[in-house]
């Protein structure tokens, strides 16, 4: 069993829909990261959080430490949000353990 599990693995939605991507982990962590990877490979950090909730534009990330679960939400989704979203946990010393990613496709 992977230490970091994401669901769903693939998600296709229509423009404007509310999107939720889930991440569950089985180890103790100091922080959890959400990353975005567009076709071509470059990875961008979206959020780093250790408790509660963070918001940036149309993106919201939440974490429940007790339940070892995090969610990434996208409101009013747009085709440019199409990407792979990756959850990663920091077990300390900034060594990240990554989920396998969720491939999101937003159709116009």
Partner 1 sequence: DVKVTQSSRYLVKRTGEKVFLECVQDMDHENMFWYRQDPGLGLRLIYFSYDVKMKEKGDIPEGYSVSREKKERFSLILESASTNQTSMYLCASTGREPAKNIQYFGAGTRLSVL
Within 10 A of 7 (CB to CB), how many other CB atoms are there? 12
Secondary structure of the chain as H, E, C letters: CCCEEEECCEEEEECCCCEEEEEEECCCCCEEEEEEECCCCCEEEEEEECCEEEEECCEEEEEECCCCEEEEEECCCCHHHCEEEEEEEECCCCCEEECCCEEEEEEC
Nearer to partner 1, 72 or 77 (CB): 72
Nearer to partner 1, 50 or 107 (CB): 50
Nearer to partner 1, 31 or 60 (CB): 31
Least distance in angstroms from the C-beta of 94 to partner 1:
6
Binding residues (CB under 8 A) for partner 1: these are 31, 33, 35, 40-45, 48, 86, 88, 90, 94-96, 98-101
Nearer to partner 1, 14 or 45 (CB): 45
Least distance in angstroms from the C-beta of 106 to partner 1:
22
């Amino acid at each position: 069993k992977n230490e970091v599990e994401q669901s769903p693995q693939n998600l296709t939605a229509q423009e404007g829909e509310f999107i939720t991507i889930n991440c569950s982990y089985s180890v103790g962590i100091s922080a959890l990261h959400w990353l975005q990877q567009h076709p071509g490979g470059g990875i961008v950090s979206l959020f780093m959080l250790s408790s509660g909730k963070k918001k940036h534009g149309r993106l919201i990330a939440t974490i429940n430490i007790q339940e070892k679960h995090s969610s990434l939400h996208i409101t009013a989704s747009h085709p440019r949000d199409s990407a792979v979203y990756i959850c990663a946990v920091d077990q300390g010393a900034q060594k990240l353990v990554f989920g396998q990613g969720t491939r999101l496709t937003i159709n116009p």
